[in-house]
Amino acid sequence: MLNFSFVLTLFVLFFVSENALAVDKVFPGNSKYVEIISDDDTICKSMVQAQGYACEEHKVTTKDGYILSVQRIPVGRSGKTGNKPPVLLQHGIFVDAAPWLLNSPEESLGFILADNGFDVWLANTRGTKYSSGHTSLTPNDSAYWEWSWDELVHYDLSALVQYVNSETGQKLHYVGHSLGTLIALASFSQQDKLINLFRSAALLSPIAYLNQIQSQLTKDAAQLHIAEELYSLGYYEFPPAWDILGKILETICNEPDVNCSDIMTALTGPNCCVNTSKAGVLLKHEPQPTATKNIIHLSQMIRTGTIAMYDYGSEEENKRHYGDSKPPVYDMRNIPKELPLFLGYGGRDMLADVDDVKALLNDLKDHDKGELFRVYIEEYAHADFVLGVNASQVVYDPMISFFNLH
């Protein structure tokens, strides 16, 4: 992801710790921080109120029945209420909203936005721990996992944006990381009426084109059709189980061009600024599962270099779903030119790599000049945009100035 890489990394982390392998292969020197703690608390209780902030738990039901949990931080530490612009934070794959709140309040985007006068709403994607409800299914049903990011675009994003808009009566700013950027870009490219509910969007580690992805581990997983294999074996939730994950990793790590001694780096790139002392808290909340079909969809993008809907793999099946033998394309050139966009990308990001971001920027070359703001940080990799201890100075400050202009 994507956040993907980050997510994968996290779940790899989890796997490594569970199997008593050296955790410091992943976070060198910090194995003592890794502990697996059961966590029955809500995100509001354990992460937001624990820092002295007000927090509300909300539930949003999508048109296809998924019950999403959303946390709201309505006021910052100043306690100032009043006319606050809402901002929706959408995480990437394999995580939930917790990483936005993981560092200190001075370092974490969720708190920084609240302290800067925003009404903060934190999304949790379907299938993650706090968003595993459904009106008629449970995660034990294979049908529960029958979705890819297409459904996140058409159901989750639209339900969340409409909910926040109706609760606040205001248009939203949006912050996405990794997969959270792809679903927004795909939605914007469709030019439907949802776009009128956005004030602006900040896209961190933007994921659009994926075929120049630098992470060899992720590339190999796609080329080996690992997700397709799992799906055909009846594993609809990803990862299916930690022992199977072990076999997957073993296969990938035996590829001659992959060095698995630093999995976090192999997946996301060399993050400069992640506080490794936070590994224990991170592992309390992450990794989170996703649908195997979602991984297949991302693998298709890595292999084909297109941004299209899920490919059912046969002309007949595609015709049945789309009325066409090929899945419809999300054309990034259709994103409205006047939509204010902030792109934050890093020189060492191995998932949202610079060449793929450049391909996206090329599609946006006719965007209104004043409405496309870019922040490029040479030393940042994928996870730094959410967990970097100095992301506040290098990314969030310019982002907040950008929001305040819109």
Ligand X SMILES: *[C@@H]1O[C@H](CO)[C@@H](O)[C@H](O)[C@H]1NC(C)=O
Cβ(369)–Cβ(251) below 8 Å: no
Beta strands in 218-295 (DSSP E): 237-238, 290-291
Rounded CA-CA distance 292/239 in Å is 7
35: DSSP letter: -
404 scored as a contact of ligand X (CB under 6 A): no
Stretch that binds ligand X, among 60-68, 81-89, 201-209, 257-265 (CB under 6 A): 257-265
Rounded CA-CA distance 200/256 in Å is 44
Residues making up the chain, counted from first to last? 406
38 scored as a contact of ligand X (CB under 6 A): no
Which 3-state string (H, E, C) describes 85-147?
A: CEEEEECCCCCCCHHHHCCCCCCCHHHHHHHCCCEEEEECCCCCHHHCEECCCCCCCHHHHCC
C-beta of 257 vs 338, nearer to ligand X: 257
196 scored as a contact of ligand X (CB under 6 A): no
> Which listed residue (96, 156, 349, 363) is catalytic?
349
Stretch that binds ligand X, among 72-80, 322-330, 333-341, 386-394 (CB under 6 A): 386-394
C-beta of 76 vs 346, nearer to ligand X: 346
C-beta of 208 vs 281, nearer to ligand X: 281
Minimum Å gap between C-beta 104 and ligand X is: 6
Conformational region of residue 290, where left means phi above 0, alpha means psi within -120 to 50, and beta covers everything else = beta
277 scored as a contact of ligand X (CB under 6 A): yes
Quote the tokens at residue 190: 């469709």
Among 223, 261, 334, 404, binds ligand X (CB under 6 A): 261
Could you say which residues in the range 349-378 bind ligand X, by CB under 6 A? 377
Q: Is 178 a catalytic residue?
A: yes
Could you say which residues in the range 54-113 bind ligand X, by CB under 6 A? 107
Rounded CA-CA distance 98/282 in Å is 8
168 scored as a contact of ligand X (CB under 6 A): no
Interface residue list for ligand X (CB under 6 A) = 107, 138, 140, 259, 261-262, 272-273, 275, 277-278, 377, 379, 389-390, 394
Q: Which residues are catalytic?
A: 178, 349, 382
